[in-house]
């Protein structure tokens, strides 16, 4: 579980992910959720690196989700996230991503985090910038790629303390 000032973030159980898959009408999202569950089942000792993570307010109100798309042998992990429309514009995405970044880098094997955004999603790009990610100049399947190497994360943590 990740706890921030205003949020609780935790990996979903198998049952929760199966329910999300069953009720998802969007075929692309359903496939993505199934891929997450398959990763969890293949790597139960690394559940958090494959699971869908719930983002909730302290009272249990769900406001979004995030995920890591596995942890590569080189120590790289990609993060994805989304906040429900009614809760956008309140800093929740930045807070959730910052918490997830800190969680990821608490694992010594993690060398860098990556993310992709839709090229027109300026809000998501601002979230990544606020959390220390920088554009790599590479365009991925979903749009521009961003990266945050461990050393950059550690340097900003040292400066803020």
* Cα gap 132→139, rounded to integer Å: 19
Burial of 154 (0-12, 13-18, 19+ CB in 10 A): exposed
Question: In the structure, what pLDDT confidence band is assigned to residue 157 with cuts at 50, 70 and 90?
Answer: low
pLDDT digits (tens, 9 = 90+) for 21-37: 999 999 998 999 999 99
Q: Using one digit for the tens of pLDDT, what is the confidence trace for 80-132? A: 999 999 999 999 999 999 999 999 999 999 999 999 999 999 999 999 999 99
Instruction: Give yes or no for a contact between 159 and 130, defined as CB atoms under 8 angstroms apart.
Output: no
3-state secondary structure of 40: helix
For the segment 43-69, the average pLDDT, to the nearest whole number, is: 96
List domains and CATH numbers for the chain: 2-160 (3.40.630.30)
The predicted model gives 129-158 an average pLDDT of 90
Which residues are registered as beta bridge partners of 135? 146
CB within 8 A of 67, min separation 6: which ones? 36, 50, 51, 52, 53, 79, 80, 81
DSSP per-residue codes, 133-160: -EEEEEE-SSSEEEEEEHHHHHHHHHHH
Backbone angles phi, psi at 133, to 5 degrees: -75, 150
Q: Average pLDDT of 54-72?
A: 96
Q: In which band, very low, low, confident or very high, does the pLDDT at 161 lie, cut at 50, 70 and 90? A: very low
- pLDDT tens-digit series, residues 68-81: 999 999 999 999 99
């Amino acid at each position: 579980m990740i706890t921030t000032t205003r949020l609780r973030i935790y990996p979903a159980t198998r049952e929760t992910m199966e329910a999300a898959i069953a009720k998802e009408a969007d075929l692309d999202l359903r496939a993505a959720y199934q891929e997450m569950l398959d990763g969890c089942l293949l790597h139960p000792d690394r559940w958090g690196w494959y699971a869908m993570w719930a983002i909730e307010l302290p009272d249990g109100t769900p406001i979004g989700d995030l995920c890591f798309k596995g942890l590569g042998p080189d120590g790289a992990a990609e993060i994805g996230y989304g906040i429900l429309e009614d809760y956008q514009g309140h800093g929740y995405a930045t807070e959730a991503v910052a918490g997830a970044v800190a969680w990821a880098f608490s694992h010594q094997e993690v060398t860098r985090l990556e993310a992709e955004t839709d090229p027109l999603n300026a809000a998501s790009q601002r979230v990544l910038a606020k959390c220390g990610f920088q554009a790599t100049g590479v365009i991925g399947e979903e749009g521009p790629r961003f990266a945050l190497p461990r050393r950059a994360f550690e340097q900003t943590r040292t400066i803020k303390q």
